[in-house]
A and B are shown apart, each in its own frame.
Chain A
Amino acid sequence: MTVPLLAVHELEYRYPGGVVALRDLHLQIRKGQKLAILGANGSGKTTLLLHLNGTFRPTHGEIRLDGQPVSYARQALNDWRRRVGLVLQEPDDQLFAATVEQDISFGPLNLGLSAAETRERVQEALEALRIAHLAQRATHTLSFGQKKRAAIAGIVAMRPEVLVLDEPTAGLDPHGVTHLLGVLRQLHEAGATLVFSTHDVELAYTWADEVAIFHEGAVRIQGETTAVLSNRELLHQARLRPPLLLEVAQVLGVDRESLPRTREALLEIATRYSLLANP
């Protein structure tokens, strides 16, 4: 088995007050995968994600990058954050500059790139997120969905190997979600490794190739999406429900190989069954 790109080993984190937020947590992120971290609200997902780029330092256990335990020295930390880009849930926590273009330029300039290279990166990120038309807009005049895309562009412009997104679809309307997922698909095809946290099992089911079920500060299980999301009992314990797509397909008796991963696929199967019942 290859060494995971990023691995969390026996992680424990206590808040300064002494409250334990995470304990004995294990997680592997492999190159090129799409991993969903599934957990109910307040289960500590954000705290975990803040460990993945070194914002928080574990009180026990360690994080390994390419198999090597990470260092929290400044240079090492900069290098780590260049490779692992974290997008916070609330875009206003990230956007600070006056215009979208200026905000996106912040990361590349911190990497020490020249103005010309930075401009190129900004353009590339604007296009990847399909927001080139917003480049000169004032940040505070954007809608929530637009802010979210601008915040993601700010990280994409740094060309991270791993893109970690905290609840990327929270607060977006259905159109915004479709748009965002399209963007993420392209980034993934371009070679990015994607990790996102969510409490939306449907999203995890249609999107991720692996899921990690998170409950009470630990990852209960990490594995192939369909296998993990078929485990009703485990999901119930984590205060989650199996995805409707999967449940309906299982009721219809669809075999494991042809389980539908999208609404359209399920509707197609349902149509076939309905034709069988009422020819």
Chain B
Amino acid sequence: MRAIDHHAWTNRWRDRHPLEKLLPAFTLLLLTLFLPPLTTGPLVLIGMALATVWGAGVPVRAFVSVMTIPAAFLLAGAPFLAISVNFVDGFSVQLAPAGGWLALETTVRALAAVSCLAFLTLTTPLTDWAPLLRRLGTPASVVELMLLMYRLIFVFAERALTGQQAQAARLGYARFDRSLHSTGLLAGNLFQRALDRAQRLERGLAARGYTGELRVLTPERPLSWPHLATVMTLVGGIGLLGGLLREWL
């Protein structure tokens, strides 16, 4: 999580207007859903990988590691799409007609869709979505809560980590039963700290004139129409190619 967050904050496209990233990624996502997956899918996957690595300058390793976990789930689940279970006379498992294709198409389509999300998470920090969410009419308190959680996750993750290290230093995790005990203590302690921190944060905010609304400046990010046009042309190209290739092959 820390690695993803790090790249989201430091990549080359960090300061691009979020729409310049959301629109192409979302369009590609739709393309993978509606166009023939076997040709469009790989094109989208390659396109998003290139955009992330070559365009935004995120290391390949980061892109691969974000893709790994969903990919593992997909690959584990795919075989079950290819078989059919028959309960009519007893119980029998057999390869479903066209099951192989279905499994392949689903996997490719899902991988391509995941790559669109990977691109977004690796190039745009969560907080950049806040202005967009507000404009889309999300209640202000929901957006504020989201941003506060984002900020506090890191505070608590650090507490949890140091707490665990301190427990480990006193052999809190030396045996299985002690591990359970230590984890319980740590969770209880974090809960208490969360309450305490909430109270202190309220004082800190009150000192700065907090009256129930967490308003901050939104960074000015001019929307670059040429950039958006270029990207969308490429996206269109991918869509066209995906559709045409299917006809030719």
Taking beta carbons and an 8 Å cutoff, which residues of A are in contact with B? 50, 53, 55, 74, 78, 81-82, 85-88, 90, 92-99, 101-103, 105-107, 109-111, 115, 118-119, 122, 136-141, 151, 154-155, 158
**For residue A98, which residues in chain B have a CB less than 8 angstroms away from its CB?**
125-127, 147, 150-151
Complex-state Cα separation, A118 to B208, whole angstroms: 14
Check B127 against A140 for contact (C-beta < 8 Å).
no
Question: Which B200-249 residues have C-beta < 8 A from chain A?
Answer: 200-201, 203-211, 214-219
Check B209 against A107 for contact (C-beta < 8 Å).
yes
**For residue A109, which residues in chain B have a CB less than 8 angstroms away from its CB?**
215-217
A163 CB to nearest B CB, Å = 11
Given A101-B219, A138-B9, is A93 in contact with B200 using a C-beta cutoff of 8 Å? yes
Check A107 against B127 for contact (C-beta < 8 Å).
no
**For residue A155, which residues in chain B have a CB less than 8 angstroms away from its CB?**
207-208
Interface of chain A: mostly helix, strand, loop or mixed: helix
Check A106 against B208 for contact (C-beta < 8 Å).
yes
**For residue B216, which residues in chain A have a CB less than 8 angstroms away from its CB?**
97, 102-103, 105-106, 109
B6 CB to nearest A CB, Å = 8
B85-124 interface bits toward A, Cβ cutoff 8 Å, 1 = contact, 0 = none: 0000000000000000000000000000000000000000
**For residue B211, which residues in chain A have a CB less than 8 angstroms away from its CB?**
74, 78, 110
Q: Which of B9, B127, B201, B215 contacts A106 (CB 8 A)?
A: B215
**For residue A136, which residues in chain B have a CB less than 8 angstroms away from its CB?**
219
- Count CB-based A-B contacts (< 8 Å): 102
**For residue B200, which residues in chain A have a CB less than 8 angstroms away from its CB?**
88, 90, 93
Give the interface size class of chain B: 20 to 34
Complex-state Cα separation, A74 to B206, whole angstroms: 11
Complex-state Cα separation, A38 to B216, whole angstroms: 35
**For residue A88, which residues in chain B have a CB less than 8 angstroms away from its CB?**
200, 203-204, 207
Complex-state Cα separation, A161 to B28, whole angstroms: 55
Check B207 against A86 for contact (C-beta < 8 Å).
yes
Q: Does B75 contact A (CB under 8 A)?
A: no
Q: Which 9 A-B pairs have the closest CB atoms?
A: A110-B209, A94-B204, A98-B127, A140-B154, A105-B217, A102-B216, A107-B208, A93-B200, A86-B207
